Amino acid sequence: MTNRSESRAKGPTREYLTPVVQRKREEGGTDLISSLARAEVEGQRLSDFEVVSFVRLLVIAGAETTYHLMGSCLYALLRDPILRERVVADRSLVPKLMDETLRWESPIGTVMREASHDIEIAGVLIKQGAGVLCHVGSANRDERQFPEPDRFDIDRVDNDHIAFGFGKHYCAGSRLALLEAEVGLNAALDRLPGLESRPGEDFNVIGFSFRGPDRLPVRFDSV
């Protein structure tokens, strides 16, 4: 999803979900939205806006980033036939493929943060309360941390990327996302023998806040 299409989708998504949240408040239920709508902290409940925002986040975090990760893994394999043959033959390399893909083309391109106190970085003063746009992709290709950062290398040592964040902001769903992606990639490699990109077709990873291949034109052997 591009930033523009994401912006267009926000309004209709909120219009659809708001009545759902209101109904769940009245009728109750055992589903997640009902639990969010009825949850209280010190006697206060989340507003409809907050519940809808949380549900939107779950959709993005639980689906969009995972299929972007799988798409970018396949993108890396389609670019490098030797690597593709190596991974197809040895599936124990799939976790390393995913880890390097998370560094090289993270599904999350940027994250917003708010400065908790005044701080100076590289001679620039950031005031408390200021919004800060952190570029995950830039950090993951920092040449001071990663030798030859633009090169895709599944044998990279000390691949300490921040695709899942760090500290108290570390992604709570990281293990589930990795499990889903590993299962999906193995299924694709099993069911699409001889997978390769179609000759003469161009495709790239695109996006700013969320990144993934614009398309993956492929061909494979019949089974």
Q: What is the pLDDT of residues 1-34, one digit of tens each?
A: 555 555 666 788 889 999 999 999 998 889 989 9
One-letter identity of residue 176: L
Q: Are 183 and 73 in contact (CB under 8 A)?
A: no
Report the C-alpha gap between 107 and 101 in whole angstroms.
9
Question: Which residues sit opposite 32 in a β-bridge?
Answer: none
- Which of these CATH numbers, 3.90.550.10, 1.20.140.10, 1.10.630.10, 3.90.580.10, describes 3-105+172-219? 1.10.630.10
End-to-end CA distance of the chain: 32
**Residue 48 reports pLDDT greater than 70:** yes
* pLDDT (average), residues 113-131: 94
Domain ranges of the chain: 3-105+172-219
Q: What pLDDT score does 7 carry?
A: 61
Q: What is the pTM of this model?
A: 0.78
Q: Are 11 and 56 in contact (CB under 8 A)?
A: no
Q: 23 in helix, strand or coil?
A: helix
pLDDT digits (tens, 9 = 90+) for 142-181: 999 999 999 999 999 999 999 998 888 888 778 888 999 9
